[in-house]
Amino acid sequence: MKRTFLRSAGAALALVLAAVWAFPVYWMVNSSFLTPATISKLEPTWVPFGGTLSNYRAVLADNAFTSALGMSLVVTAICLVLCLVYALLASFAIGRFRFRGRKTFVLAIIVVQMLPAEAMFIAQYKMLAGANLLNSVIGVSVIYLAMVVPFTTWMLRGFVAGIPVDLEEAAMIDGCTRMGAFRRVTFPLLAPGLVASGVFAFLQVWNEFALASIILTESQKATLPLWLRDFAQSSNLGVTEWGEVMAGSVLVAIPVIVFFMIVQGRMAQGLVGGAVKG
């Protein structure tokens, strides 16, 4: 009796908390459908009945948005492809071999992931400024690659270690070279790992704000996060067009939320997996 009561009270509490946690996301979507006239009323509009798509039309017609979308796509594509190739090679090395310098490398890729942008962005800015690579795709990609390769390598290493080495050895006995065995046997088995770590790398690069705000100072070179910041501010002078700004936020957030849902299962287990195992 007491137990059932506790369970229903808990369920009610959970619903309230769920509402609180989802509210900002709901409010973003809700506001994105409201006209400036509705939004500037003192009384908030809770549900976007009779809403409009004009905010989205305005954002999509904005050249700065299209340019930022293009920039984000190019930078993300370059980083994703190179990152997966580099990390795959490296993870194969540390997942399958014991060699001199292995421990140093593993330590390096772990430590590097701990370092915050704050601790390095001044130096990275100076390096790119010296090489004339500020406001360039190459410059930002070089920095982003160094940011995502360590993590991706570490993640793929787990997948490589999970594939029995016997499979490769069997292929080698059947006449494959070492790389051939890897390519024909291990690589196809790694596909899920590549997808998962690729999504992680995508999320990091796509969302990155701190370094981009320092390296990409020209508005034509802005990535989507920078565009959203500028877009929200440009209207700050007089009256902020919150409807349009929220439509912009939705457009920036949607691909992230979709991809995030794909990998969310690994997200919680992965980071503390070893700890749960004890």
Partner 1 sequence: MTTTMTAPASSPARVEQPPRRRRRRTRLPHLLLIPAVGTLLIGLGYPVTWQILNSFKEYGLAQQFGQPAEYVGFANYIALFTDGMFWTIALRSVAFMAATAAVTMVIGIAFALLMKVIPTWSRIVLQVAMLLAWAMPIVAQMTVANWLIDDRNGVLNHVLSLIPGVDLIGHDWLIDPLSFFGVALVIITWASVPFVAFSVYAGLTQVSEEVLEAGQLDGASAFQMLRLIIMPIIRPVLVILILLQLIWDLRVFAQIQLLQDFGAAGERYDLLGTYIYGLGIGQGQFGAAAAAAMVVMILTLAVSWGYVRRLLKEDEES
Task: State the binding string over 145-174 for partner 1 (x if CB under 8 A, else -).
Answer: xxx-xxxxxxx-xxx-xxxxx---------
The nearest distance, CB 141 to partner 1, in angstroms, is 9
Of 57, 66, 210, 220, the residue at the interface with partner 1 (CB under 8 A) is 210
Of 120, 137, 172, 176, the residue at the interface with partner 1 (CB under 8 A) is 120
- For the chain, the straight-line distance linking the first and the last C-alpha, in angstroms and rounded, comes to 37
Of 1, 2, 5, 21, the residue at the interface with partner 1 (CB under 8 A) is 21
Alpha carbon distance 125, 123 (integer Å) = 5
The nearest distance, CB 42 to partner 1, in angstroms, is 7
The nearest distance, CB 221 to partner 1, in angstroms, is 16
User: CB of 137 within 8 A of CB of 78?
Assistant: yes
Nearer to partner 1, 61 or 276 (CB): 276
User: CB of 197 within 8 A of CB of 156?
Assistant: yes
**Window 187-206: residues binding partner 1 (CB under 8 A):** 192-193, 197, 200, 203-204, 206
> Applying CB under 8 A, does 5 fall inside the site for partner 1?
no
> In angstroms, what CA-CA distances link 125 with 112, 130, 140, 182, 222?
18, 9, 10, 39, 16
Nearer to partner 1, 53 or 267 (CB): 267
Radius of gyration of the chain (CA): 24
- Number of residues interacting with partner 1: please give it, by CB under 8 A: 128
The nearest distance, CB 173 to partner 1, in angstroms, is 15
Alpha helices in 162-219 (DSSP H): 165-173, 178-181, 187-207, 210-215
The nearest distance, CB 114 to partner 1, in angstroms, is 4
**Residue 182 DSSP code:** I
> Applying CB under 8 A, does 134 fall inside the site for partner 1?
no
Instruction: Kindly report each contact of residues 174-179 with a partner whose C-beta sits within 8 Å and lies 24 or more positions away, as own/partner.
Output: none
Residue recorded with tokens 């070279």: 177
> Applying CB under 8 A, does 7 fall inside the site for partner 1?
yes
User: CB of 67 within 8 A of CB of 129?
Assistant: no
User: CB of 108 within 8 A of CB of 197?
Assistant: no
The nearest distance, CB 91 to partner 1, in angstroms, is 9
> Applying CB under 8 A, does 58 fall inside the site for partner 1?
no
Q: What share of the chain is helix, strand, coil (3-state, %, to 5)?
A: 80, 0, 20
Of 98, 173, 175, 237, the residue at the interface with partner 1 (CB under 8 A) is 98
> Applying CB under 8 A, does 107 fall inside the site for partner 1?
yes
The nearest distance, CB 65 to partner 1, in angstroms, is 14
Nearer to partner 1, 42 or 173 (CB): 42
